[in-house]
């Protein structure tokens, strides 16, 4: 390494007096003490820096598989590229280490800064070249996910953080800037792993103290989330508990449920007993992430802690509302409403004189759970309750409660046939949220608002805007991890994927819904019912689009049999979705008469309760069943009733999603006018027209009726088709057609 200033001065003089057409090529590990800034401004400097030398994902794959012949999967290459962050030596060292390893995929998952080849390289080439104070600085600050010079001073106690950071940057020592101002930085992930491994071996006993110092500095400068992480890592549970309690309300109203639950899960249960306020907010985080078993186990602890609270009645009211959610999960809707009314009686306050955040939260929670319970039993009662319910959180500043209430009231209005009003309710909810954001409010979960808007726009066949709202809503849903909103994202996304012919994407959505259902605790009967119905609907839709339809229909049939559903059972609204699935399944199985009888009962129930959208959907399906039963006049008459109800409300996808048989039926409508013409036109833009019946399950007579041909003619065509494809039946023909694309 050149350290003589006279050499640097001579080189600077040479560069400043080069003859025209001359160049100097200089390679260095760090920036040399030359007038680089002046050369940059004058356009006389061409730089190839560390960022330019990083491997791209494609280059890493070519090096590992084409050059080193490691035969790694694309996933392993991606993982290794992420771990090494394009550092060229990283894949090379990994390649050396992989030589002779049988399970290369598992090795890549474990590859970290503690691996011997990597450790040796970093020791010889990097760390041993540094002065002792720099080595100490590197090791001690490796506990930080990101750092700035004053934070490093607080952790290390050396007082030279700014100078060391400048040295690290000039030496290109695996430091990555996180802002344009050069204030915050982080270490390369593998380098940080290596440094933490070194620190644990050399000064393991001091690591908790380092985390505690970091926590204190971060708290003092307003970085509370990171302060909590370091307090927990430093085993300073008292500080961690105090900090978590301080941000619990903020995390709750911004729907950072998973984050709050993660913090509290690392605290001892005794701390919850000493902090009633934290216990209540943690209880709501468990509600909003669907953790029924954990909530039930902790509720007695929360009740016991009320006597320690500054306002015991508020904690008691909060526990009552949490217990109401337990009743909801058990589908005891009247019990849930009764507990909420008891909670409100305990509070005995109006919106104007609620004294604390906890009291305001308890008031809005108890008020808003009541219409949410009615949502599953009586939509008309829900419709009457929501305007008052959503006004309270707006007045009290509980925007997340208001957003959810607007979303659910919008859905109710849509189901009751007031589509234009539903659209206005949803847009009003978004305006309320945007006004709050304009005031500087923290990001919050409004996923349900965006997703309900997407669902309504999808029904109107406004697919582009529906897709935009879906993208917004799905992002918030992932952040909050509230299971019903995640399920809604899967449902709406599935519909849009099918509308655009993206069958693989639709199948992935179906798998996501199945995983969500599998994760629901057995005690949460409500979510198991709702997610189960949604999953079966998705299976039925996809069964008409996939050649391998049989397993999908078998899955639906298995679910129906497991539930013991029958066409003559009494039907309560909370369980109506299962019977709607049964009606569609019977039609798909060619048992149209049984399906039609069940649809008649569903139509009568929906009419009596004013659920116009359900009436239209059931009538449309009933018309197809009558067509299948060779009653074309009745089919057209039933369809006309559905159209008369649907036209003023702008329903489109209710008809279009029933596929080719519905288009054929619509084409037979006399004097349909512009509305029917528009419905028929909507089929033209559908990339895939999903048949409501899977091809190989359609009885031959029904197929010939749909095609307008005699059964013998259909048999003749099928025989010729089977000979050309080299197959022996319809199931094989579908599979062969799929193979041929």
Residue 427 has pLDDT above 50, yes or no: yes
Confidence of residue 691 (pLDDT cuts 50, 70, 90): very low
For the ranges 69-73, 564-568, 600-604, which has the lowest average pLDDT? 69-73
SS3 284: helix
Quote the CA–CA distance of 363 and 607 in Å, as a whole number.
Answer: 35
For the ranges 243-247, 441-445, 521-525, 641-645, which has the lowest average pLDDT? 441-445
Average pLDDT over residues 570-581: 95
- Closest by Cα among 332, 684, 673, 703 to 526: 332
Between 703 and 692, name the one with better pLDDT: 703
pLDDT at residue 513 in the model? 95
The answer for residues whose C-beta is within 8 angstroms of residue 329's C-beta and 6 or more apart is: 292, 523, 524, 525, 526, 527
- Closest by Cα among 185, 179, 188 to 166: 185
Do strands 175-177 and 185-187 pair parallel, antiparallel, or not at all (unpaired)?
Answer: antiparallel
pLDDT at residue 703 in the model? 55
Quote the CA–CA distance of 373 and 33 in Å, as a whole number.
Answer: 72
The answer for residues whose C-beta is within 8 angstroms of residue 672's C-beta and 6 or more apart is: 643, 666
| Residue-wise burial string across 573-589, b where 16 or more C-beta atoms lie within 10 A, e elsewhere | bbbbbbbbbbbbbbbbb
Structure-token pair, residue 295: 């909530």
Residue 166 has pLDDT above 60, yes or no: yes
Q: What are the start-end ranges of the H helices in 416-568?
A: 419-438, 447-459, 463-480, 483-499, 503-518, 525-543, 549-563
Please state, in angstroms and as integers, the Cα–Cα distance from residue 85 to each residue in 54, 82, 179, following that order. Answer: 8, 5, 18
pLDDT at residue 606 in the model? 96
- Closest by Cα among 682, 254, 308 to 461: 682
pLDDT at residue 687 in the model? 44
Terminal-to-terminal C-alpha distance of the chain: 63
SS3 520: coil
Quote the CA–CA distance of 187 and 173 in Å, as a whole number.
Answer: 8
For the ranges 70-84, 292-306, 422-436, 594-608, which has the lowest average pLDDT? 70-84
pLDDT at residue 739 in the model? 46
Confidence of residue 399 (pLDDT cuts 50, 70, 90): confident
pLDDT at residue 64 in the model? 60
């Amino acid at each position: 390494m050149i350290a003589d200033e006279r050499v640097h001065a001579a080189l600077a003089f040479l560069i400043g007096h080069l003859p025209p057409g001359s160049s100097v090529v200089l390679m260095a590990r760090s920036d040399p003490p030359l007038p680089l800034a002046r050369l940059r401004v004058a356009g006389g400097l061409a730089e190839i820096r560390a960022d330019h030398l990083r491997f791209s994902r494609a280059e890493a794959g070519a090096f590992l598989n084409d050059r080193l012949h490691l035969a790694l999967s694309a996933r392993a290459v991606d993982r290794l590229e992420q771990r090494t962050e394009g550092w060229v030596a990283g894949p090379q060292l990994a390649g050396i280490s992989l030589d002779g390893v049988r399970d290369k995929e598992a090795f890549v998952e474990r590859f970290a800064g503690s691996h011997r080849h990597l450790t040796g390289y970093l020791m010889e080439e990097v760390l041993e070249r540094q002065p002792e104070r720099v080595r100490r600085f590197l090791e001690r600050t490796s506990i930080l996910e990101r750092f700035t010079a004053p934070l490093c001073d607080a952790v290390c106690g050396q007082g030279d953080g700014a100078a060391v950071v400048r040295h690290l940057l000039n030496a290109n020592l695996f430091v990555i800037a996180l802002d344009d101002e050069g204030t915050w930085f982080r270490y390369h992930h593998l380098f940080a792993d290596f440094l933490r491994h070194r620190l644990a071996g050399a000064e393991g006993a001091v690591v908790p103290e380092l985390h505690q110092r970091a926590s204190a500095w971060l708290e003092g400068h307003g970085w509370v989330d990171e302060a909590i992480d370091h307090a927990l890592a430093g085993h300073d549970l008292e500080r961690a508990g105090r900090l978590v309690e301080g941000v619990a309300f903020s995390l709750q109203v911004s729907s950072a449920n998973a984050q709050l639950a993660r913090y509290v899960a690392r605290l001892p249960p005794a701390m919850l007993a000493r902090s009633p306020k934290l216990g209540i907010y943690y209880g709501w985080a468990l509600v909003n992430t669907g953790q029924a078993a954990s909530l039930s186990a902790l509720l007695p602890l929360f009740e016991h802690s009320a006597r320690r609270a500054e306002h015991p009645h508020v904690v008691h009211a909060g526990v009552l509302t949490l217990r109401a959610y337990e009743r909801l999960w058990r589908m005891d809707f009247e019990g849930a409403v009764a507990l909420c009314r008891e909670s409100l009686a305990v509070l005995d306050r109006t919106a104007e004189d609620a004294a604390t955040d906890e009291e305001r939260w308890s008031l809005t929670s108890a008020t808003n759970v009541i219409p949410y319970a009615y949502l599953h039993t009586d939509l008309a009662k829900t419709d009457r309750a929501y305007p008052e319910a959503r006004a309270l959180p707006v007045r009290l500043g509980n925007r997340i409660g208001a957003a959810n209430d607007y979303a659910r009231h919008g859905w109710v209005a849509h189901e009751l046939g007031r589509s234009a009003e539903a659209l206005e309710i949803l847009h009003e909810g978004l305006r309320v949220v945007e006004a709050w954001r304009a005031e500087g409010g923290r990001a919050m979960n409004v996923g349900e608002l965006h997703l309900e808007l997407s669902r309504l726009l999808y029904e109107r066949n406004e697919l582009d805007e529906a897709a935009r709202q879906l993208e917004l809503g799905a992002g918030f849903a992932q952040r909050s991890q509230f299971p019903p909103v995640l399920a809604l994202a899967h449902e709406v996304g599935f519909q849009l994927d099918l509308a655009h012919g993206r069958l693989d994407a639709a199948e992935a959505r179906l798998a996501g819904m199945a995983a969500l259902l599998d994760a629901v605790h057995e005690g949460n009967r409500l979510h198991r019912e709702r997610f189960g119905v949604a999953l079966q609907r998705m299976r039925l839709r996809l069964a008409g689009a996939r050649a391998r339809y049989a397993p999908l229909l078998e899955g639906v049939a298995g679910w129906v049999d497991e539930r013991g559903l029958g066409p003559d059972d009494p039907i309560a609204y909370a369980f109506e979705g299962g019977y709607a699935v049964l009606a569609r399944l019977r039609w798909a199985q060619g048992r149209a008469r049984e399906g039609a009888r069940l649809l008649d009962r569903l139509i009568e129930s929906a009419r009596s309760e004013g659920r116009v959208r359900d009436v239209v959907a059931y009538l449309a399906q009933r018309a197809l069943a009558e067509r299948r039963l060779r009653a074309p006049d009745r089919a057209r008459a039933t369809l006309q009733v559905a159209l008369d109800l649907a036209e003023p409300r702008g329903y489109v996808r209710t008809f279009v999603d029933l596929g080719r048989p519905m288009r054929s039926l619509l084409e037979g409508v006399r004097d349909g006018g512009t509305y029917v013409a528009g419905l028929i036109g909507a089929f033209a833009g559908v990339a895939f027209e999903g048949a409501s019946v899977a091809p190989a399950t359609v009885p031959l007579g029904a197929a010939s009726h749909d095609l307008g041909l005699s059964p013998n003619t259909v048999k003749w065509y099928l025989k010729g088709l089977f000979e050309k494809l080299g197959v022996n039946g319809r199931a094989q023909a579908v599979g062969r057609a799929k193979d041929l694309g």
